[in-house]
Structure 1
Amino acid sequence: MNAIYHHFIIRAELKKVFDAVSMPKHLVQWWPKTCKGVPARGEEYNFFFEEPYDWYARVSELEKDKFIYFKMTKSDPDWDPTTFGFELVPHEKGTYLKFFHRDWPEANDHMKYSSFCWAMLLDGLRNYVEKGLVVPFEERE
């Protein structure tokens, strides 16, 4: 199986970063257009981007302020077998975020494009948490 990894520092406390990657009201500030879900193991999230991208995932692992993993349940055929997640580690400058998106069936063009998109979106996450900047949904990759 294939995977995407992005690791970087966010100059903010763990709780603030965890909320930004787990709470729908914060997720919509840097990733989907709308989002519903509860950060608890086994709970379902709905990540809506635009038609036909109305995707669902289940929280497969979670420890508050440490990590959250999402197992895709209804999405694109390439994404359906995948799990993505955020692991947070205390760092002298704030929080070290370790992002993964694994279990891709092929290292195809879609996976490579998704890696680029994740990098751009995660930069948006960093700017949102550190500076309160929000990129309008229509301008996100």
Structure 2
Amino acid sequence: MSYNIYHNLLIKSSSKNVFDAVSKPEHLNNWWTLKSSGTPKLNTEYNLNFTDDYNWFCRVSELKRNTSIHFKMTDADKDWAPTTFGFDLEPKDGGTLLMFSHINWEGDDHHFKHSSFCWAMLLNGLKNYLEKGKVIPFEERN
């Protein structure tokens, strides 16, 4: 059995802007990672760096420009290693409905539950970044 995290939120921004914010390192670093690298192209590798101890890698496993991007973890801690996370986008009410998923967790332990909470907080940060231009310093992101 696998466990999954899902969050949906409406962002008052275009699908292109939301796609760029969840796929381009210069934007990821403003709401999620400390520093990242990668290119939104199918099968390319991304480096997601949070600290020296949390320097993870993934690859683009699904891609439809301005519509969806999914990442399969390739090197991460043992809980994240088998997982895939992604962002599906749909125009809605003059903005974009972001449908987030983080699937294939092996258990519903503390780390799974904590990660679900963290994703909710980070996605709210993404919303504020896109709608208000607000960047929370990395050290203050929980």
Give me the TM-score of the superposition, normalised by structure 1: 0.99
Is 1:110 the counterpart of 2:111? The answer is yes
Q: Which residue of 2 aligns with 1:122?
A: 123
Is 1:32 the counterpart of 2:36? The answer is no
Q: Which residue of 2 aligns with 1:42?
A: 43
2:50 counterpart SS class: strand
Letter matched to residue 78 of structure 1 = D
Hey, what's the Cα distance between the residues in 2 that align with 1:106 and 1:4? 12
Hey, what's the Cα distance between the residues in 2 that align with 1:41 and 1:53? 24
Where do 5+ consecutive residues of structure 1 fail to align? Answer: none
Q: How many residues align?
A: 141
Q: Which residue of 2 aligns with 1:96?
A: 97
* 1:1-141 equivalent positions in 2, closer than 5 A: 1-141=2-142
Q: CA RMSD in A?
A: 0.5
Where do 4+ consecutive residues of structure 1 move more than 3 Å?
Answer: none
Letter matched to residue 81 of structure 1 = P
Letter matched to residue 12 of structure 1 = S
Q: Percent identity, aligned pairs only?
A: 53
- CA deviations 1:34-65 (Å, max 9, x no partner) are 00000000000000001210000000000000
Contact 1:9/1:93 (CA < 8 Å) preserved in 2? Answer: no
